[in-house]
Amino acid sequence: MSEFRVLGPLAVDSDGEGSVWLRTQMVRRLLAALLSRANSVVPADVLIAALWGEEAPASARKGLQIYVRRLRTALDTEQRIVHELGGYRICVAEDELDVARFARLVTAADAAGPERAADLLAQALELWRGAAFEDVRDHTPTADEARRLDEERVRVQTWHSQLQLELGRHAESIPRLTELTEAHPYREDLRGYLMLALYRCGRQTEALEVFRSTRRLLDEELGVEPGPALQQLHEAILRADASLDLQPRSAVTVPRELPADITGFVGRAEQLQALDELLPDSSPVVISAIAGSGGVGKTTLAVHWAHHVADRFPDGQLYVNLRGFDPADAPVSPAAATRRLLDSLGVAPQRIP
């Protein structure tokens, strides 16, 4: 299995045999453009723009064919780059592309508790080695995808910083937040997190200095004042407001994981009544299943009914998609589903066998 890495300078490793040497910058640009739309057909005109920008020669289509041949030779396979009507497609498995692994970890974090989410986001961020497509982002579509990924990286970094503060990891957050505010000086949310981390570490003076430097920067560069949220945080630090102290986390995690209900749900009255009858007043709830062929609406019915009776389950509601009929992905293993449920219930990782 090969590994394609675009979260930094473009790099390819082939089946444990070391790095693949891509001889010319044009071949690297071609690979980057294909990977920016991995497993989708990239029109020839788009690939030509990725190679030459607005200065494509009259022989660009012939040149594109030559570079495709050179790329296939470098990757040592004809099947990896497929010619289809109007363009080319690169075939990569999900585990072969660092962008896909990054997205999968971020998606998993979105469904996990704070500690697990922070760990997953840290793993996702470790995949980055620099700016996306750092050495091959000269032209579209690569440049557009690179900007999107860079912005997603900042979003995840901000989310991770927020979780670190929620978990009381203030001191270890300060160096990273300092780097982030230097790299993104106009991101007031990051500056606010840095102020809060400093304050909770007993460094009130430094927290106030962050606000003063932010105000100077915004005034000198943009002619504006800090936003209301940052100003309110500044005032709270001046007052040593107790609300800034780390709030104790609840000893009991109450998961609320039901997917959104379907607007305008109609019908299924008989089935809904049958489900209602499974809820006795005092005795334990009977574990039940809704049977039916794929696509008839079993999940929709279950989710709708679960919303209807959610108040009967004040300890929370769990949800896990086992992907039994997902053509794009394999079913979830029992071990993965169990771990997902334990994380949702707030079970500490060290307590999980």
Rounded to the nearest angstrom, the gap between the alpha carbon of residue 15 and the centroid of all alpha carbons in its chain is 27
CA-to-CA distance for 86 and 45, rounded, in angstroms?
A: 9
CATH 1.25.40.10 domain extents, the chain: 98-244
CA proximity to 332, closest of 344, 347, 316, 319: 319
Share of the chain above pLDDT 70, in %: 90
* DSSP code for 296: S
CA proximity to 239, closest of 209, 214, 204: 204
CATH 1.10.10.10 domain extents, the chain: 3-93
pLDDT score, position 295 = 66
Q: Do 101 and 1 meet the contact criterion of CB atoms below 8 Å apart? A: no
Omega within 30 of 0 (cis) for the link into 141: yes
- What's the burial of 159, exposed, middle or buried (CB within 10 Å: 0-12/13-18/19+)? middle
Rounded to the nearest angstrom, the gap between the alpha carbon of residue 184 and the centroid of all alpha carbons in its chain is 19
pLDDT (tens digit, 9 = 90+) per residue, 122-175? Answer: 999 999 999 999 999 988 889 999 999 999 999 999 999 999 999 999 999 999
- Top pLDDT among 2 and 220 is at 220
What SS3 class is residue 29? helix
CATH number of 98-244: 2.60.40.420, 1.25.40.10, 3.30.930.10, 3.40.50.2030?
Answer: 1.25.40.10
At position 129, the amino acid (one-letter code) is: R
Share of the chain above pLDDT 90, in %: 56
CA-to-CA distance for 304 and 308, rounded, in angstroms?
A: 6
Does residue 262 carry a pLDDT above 70? no
Q: Do 33 and 46 meet the contact criterion of CB atoms below 8 Å apart? A: yes
- Top pLDDT among 168 and 273 is at 168
Does residue 101 carry a pLDDT above 90? yes
- Top pLDDT among 312 and 154 is at 154
Most confident of 195-204, 267-276, 316-325: 195-204
Most confident of 15-24, 26-35, 334-343: 26-35
pTM across the whole model: 0.69
| pLDDT (mean) for 213-230 | 95
- Top pLDDT among 316 and 174 is at 174
CA proximity to 199, closest of 249, 167, 241, 227: 241
Q: Which two tokens stand for residue 80?
A: 């990896």
Q: What does the CA dihedral 231, 110, 100, 191 come to, rounded to 10 degrees?
A: 10
At position 205, the amino acid (one-letter code) is: T
Give the helix/strand (H/E) hosting 154.
helix 142-166
List the CATH code of the domain at 3-93: 1.10.10.10
